[in-house]
Chains A and B, each alone.
Chain A
């Protein structure tokens, strides 16, 4: 038996207490802070759900073509979306798609600057690495409880939980991508008098872009892996269907919803991957 060094019960209680204090005093302001995100999400969701199905499919086809310059890929992507509609999950699929887009967008807005800071400041990197480890390995339920307490049930905590889980690969790959930029090229830009901003936007980010795209790809994949868990705290969509399937032991419902999630995953993966590939081909070094 390991000796008791201090009262863990007290520790637990004090953590509970501080969360309670945070919730009682600041829950309202936290919720107010998140209103803009919620508004964007709701707007996007209504747009996707309100638009005719063929318009959405056409939109996805155009985006795929823009990313890959391949009609075959964009045909395949349209077929995947059509499949989601065909198995009767169009509405849920659009809800999940909206959540994914907002979560991915916010991840990019957070992840890329953090990655840049990590690449620029070694001390910041040393702090961030264990933080990223915690974000990726901590079971999500552990932070879902306080997040729900602070933000209430619904879409916002779902977005937060998704971002916490999904943003680390983007941060890591942005950091890595910038660090892998050829030191000679960077030195050349310094020798011609480029300032920090010119180095960052002219050299480091463009050259790190293939890695950053791989990061965005990973982020979308991980975000999709969170949809079922997110549905437990009130996000509607495909995850909720899976959850209902589990609760009612309806294997068919669960399986179809699961397949729809896979279809969305393939959609996101292929589009971001082909975009990344095209970017790295464009700047391939001999």
Chain B
């Protein structure tokens, strides 16, 4: 079910501000693509445009094409809600629904879509929690509120919630930036497992993380203040970190700026 992304000539604007300039990128299925780059370079913006979450921000608009297995997610007959059902997202800070129990959090997407069969929901909850490596830690307290878990557990809960609707792609927006090193490791292990089934795109500030989990790395950069963000280069992770094609990439990776 994992699908491939083809991003063609993508430009993103906030009102009059040109935030991201002409991105061309292919994301193969069952593969982890990492977006790296300094703050404000547009990598999160690009990520959010992949499931139309940027439309939440007033004034944001997109030009160009984002093809999911050849279908443009911005075609006029495509509903953003359907796009998001197909392309799940995990956010920077864990955001479980505070009014719901752990189990309800996991199956929230299904229940809100109208699935009522309790047995089915329970199965999905278990499968998703197992998939997120959380089942053993929470199986005895599924009815407790999700807010009672630790930060790392909450983030895995959010991943379980995202995979419960069986998306084709998972987008992760700095999923470990609010977590401690041990929780980070747990999430990274999880990503490695998830890529067997999902296409994953992850934004990260942590270059070691990009090197550890991703197969392909895209480096974004700003050419100057007030200039739009650019995709500088994209290549196999190994190549980017050992022998990047651009000077800017090398500078960034070796810590000379950013």
* Chains A and B are bound partners: no
| Residues of A that sit less than 8 Å from B by CB | none
| Residues of B that sit less than 8 Å from A by CB | none
